[in-house]
Amino acid sequence: MRTFARTFVGIFILLIVMGLFRQLSAAEERANRLIALLEAGKPAIGVWTGALAAPRISKVLATSDADFIVADVEHDIYDFSALHRFLLEIQDFSNRFRAEPRPAPVVLVKLANRGTWDPRYEIAESLKVGPAMGVWIPFVESRADVERAISAIRNAETSALEGLNIPRERRDIWPLNPKGELMLVAMIETETGARKAKEIVETPGLSAVQPVHLPDADTARILKMCLVRGVVAATDAGPGDIKAKVDAGYRMISVGWDFDLLRKELGDTIKGMRSAIK
């Protein structure tokens, strides 16, 4: 009887310890799975969209296998209400319509305000209206631009992330805070930005850099800076060149715009059907 009692108590204690371990593991688990991929040294694949007011597109994106979505408000009407609905739809549609359980793609908001302007108000609003996990800032041209954006992120009202059960101390920017769940991606796309790339890349707290619209030599130089500094490098690619981009050191890879993919698929399908009935 005593042996049985000791065995029972031992099993009971073991179960309690295992339960506590699972709770601790869950507490440490990344809410931002994009960061989890990058910390593991793995590439992440994403897609750009400007169709924030189109629920059917939201459903397609939410149920896709994309790791991240760039919600672009720079090239469309400035509409926080549409962004609010889009962010909620991505979470809702992902939960309701995925064939297999998987976290929703991480959404980063591509700002309308340029880094050289003052995007602090837009950053604060974007992180407040829904579960965005960071911002993607165009036309960054100096360290001051990055520091201003980082300050805005760190001081933004992030109550929208409460629904994702992200503790307040983790509603911070990564990697400035190693446990932070929010990201800042800076786009270097001008001659001035390329000239000041070193100070931009070396700004503490910057999550990632995307060089665009630059000469190949400047792009290669910025990529090398990112690799030396340990800053994630972002770019666009397709199935034909993604391996070369990953081998070069890029870790955030975008397949491009959703409407370009839709247009190509629709065009190829109709062309194939017309050929079949000739």
Rounded Cα gap, residues 196 and 82, in angstroms: 35
For residue 72, give the 3-state DSSP assignment. Answer: strand
- Model confidence at 6, pLDDT cuts 50, 70, 90, reads low
Residue 20 predicted with pLDDT over 50: no
Give me the pLDDT at residue 148, please: 97
Q: Is the dihedral of CA 199, 200, 205, 211 positive or negative?
A: negative
Give me the pLDDT at residue 4, please: 47
* pTM beyond 0.85: yes
Can you tell me the mean pLDDT for 188-211? 97
207 burial (CB, 10 Å; 0-12 / 13-18 / 19+) is buried
Q: What is the pLDDT of residues 260-274, one digit of tens each?
A: 999 999 999 999 999
In a domain, 16, yes or no: no
In a domain, 170, yes or no: yes
Can you tell me the mean pLDDT for 123-139? 94
In a domain, 192, yes or no: yes
Residue 9 predicted with pLDDT over 70: no
In a domain, 198, yes or no: yes
Q: Which amino acid is at 117?
A: W
Nearest by Cα to 136 from 261, 144, 128, 127: 127
Residue 145 predicted with pLDDT over 70: yes
Token duo for residue 194: 């390329």
CB-CB contact of 231 with 224 (8 Å): no
Can you tell me the mean pLDDT for 237-266? 95
In a domain, 8, yes or no: no
Can you tell me the mean pLDDT for 109-138? 94
Which residues lie closer than 8 Å to 179 by C-beta, 6 or more apart? 169, 170, 172
Residue 12 predicted with pLDDT over 90: no
Share of the chain above pLDDT 90, in %: 79
Listed ranges 79-83, 114-118, 174-178; the one with the highest mean pLDDT: 174-178
In a domain, 56, yes or no: yes
Summary mean pLDDT of the chain: 89
Residue entry with tokens 């707290």: 205
Q: What is the CATH number of the domain that holds 133?
A: 3.20.20.60
Higher pLDDT, 97 or 10: 97
Residue 111 predicted with pLDDT over 60: yes
| Number of independent structural domains in the chain | 1
Residue 144 predicted with pLDDT over 90: yes
Residue 2 predicted with pLDDT over 70: no
- Domain span at residue 197? 32-276
- Model confidence at 103, pLDDT cuts 50, 70, 90, reads confident
For residue 26, give the 3-state DSSP assignment. Answer: helix
In a domain, 5, yes or no: no
- Model confidence at 7, pLDDT cuts 50, 70, 90, reads low
- Model confidence at 219, pLDDT cuts 50, 70, 90, reads very high
In a domain, 18, yes or no: no
Give me the pLDDT at residue 23, please: 34
Give me the pLDDT at residue 102, please: 78
Can you tell me the mean pLDDT for 144-172? 92
